[in-house]
Copies of this chain bind each other. A is one copy, B any other.
Amino acid sequence: MVEISLLGTGGMLPLPERFLSSVCVRINGKLILIDCGEGTQISLKKLGWGIKKLDIILITHFHADHISGLAGIILSLINSERADPIYIIGPNGLENIFNNLCVIVPELPFKIFFIEQDFSNKNILEINNIFISTLKLDHSCDCFAYSICLKRIGKFNLEKAKKIKLPCKFWSELQHGKQIEFNNKIFSPKDVLDDERTGIKITYCTDTRPIDQIVNFSEESDLFICEGTYGENNKIEKAVKNKHMTFSEAANLAKQSNCKELWLTHFSPSMPEPEKFLINAKKIFNNSKLGTDGLTKKICFN
């Protein structure tokens, strides 16, 4: 099962009822945070999932509305008595930006592994059956979309296991993804499992123009969280100029990539009532929803 919660849905400036765009994903009790503008630690506190189990922070880009709350998140982690290392992943220059922003943070009681993206590597992290991939977007600075996939192994196949004459004491290890050695032969999970089953895929895509590559990248996502900075179709010139999208453009991407559900986010502060324009997305992709701060969903394996 994967749980997803929007911590904020605003772009540029936080508003009292609309914090800056950020999402928290919980898988097997562990947390992944995407972006952390000013105030994200407050929304995370409100959510009630705790912070101590935050293992991975993904940064889309270095505009302040996506990263200015990083010091606050680190301070909250220190205060939670976190001791395990964490990963922070983002564009090149990440560690330098971190060191600047965290000049007001005391010495860390945990290790940070920085992964700075070199653009050539689509799959950047695999940890506990969770695969994190990135795509370079088209914004006014280096900016990346992220997809988080929880893979699901195939069913245990008794006939296969019997055929290779492997004692049943080894079955569990193979089911847990390990290789084992028996009678001088190496056995791997595929020797006792059926083909991999459909997993769960979440894609997060902001800030960008709607480039073609997003369609492949977000293909068949169970949930596609995408920026819709402007609701009205006639804001297209502004969207092009500021390297953002309209609701219609986001909906087109959701449709083309055959996603199950679209959540719009990253609304311009000049749009106090995004609900007025949801119809522009729904006309193109019916399962479009308006992101709201605190909107939460559970996705289970089929």
Q: Is A153 an interface residue (CB 8 A)?
A: no
> Is B103 a contact of A100 with CB atoms below 8 Å?
yes
Nearest CB of B to A141, in Å: 10
> Is B42 a contact of A72 with CB atoms below 8 Å?
no
Given contacts A67-B104, A68-B71, A71-B68, contact A79 B38 (CB under 8 A): no
> Is A75 a contact of B39 with CB atoms below 8 Å?
no
Q: Is A83 an interface residue (CB 8 A)?
A: no
> Is B72 a contact of A68 with CB atoms below 8 Å?
yes
Chain B hits for A97, CB < 8 A: 103-104
Most buried by B among A13, A15, A68: A68
Other 16 A-B pairs with CB < 8 A, given A13-B45, A100-B101: A13-B41, A13-B75, A13-B79, A14-B41, A14-B45, A15-B42, A15-B45, A16-B45, A19-B42, A38-B41, A39-B42, A64-B75, A64-B104, A67-B104, A97-B103, A100-B103
- Chain A residues close to B by CB (< 8 Å): 12-16, 19, 38-39, 41-42, 45-46, 62-64, 67-69, 71-72, 75-76, 79, 97, 100-101, 103-105
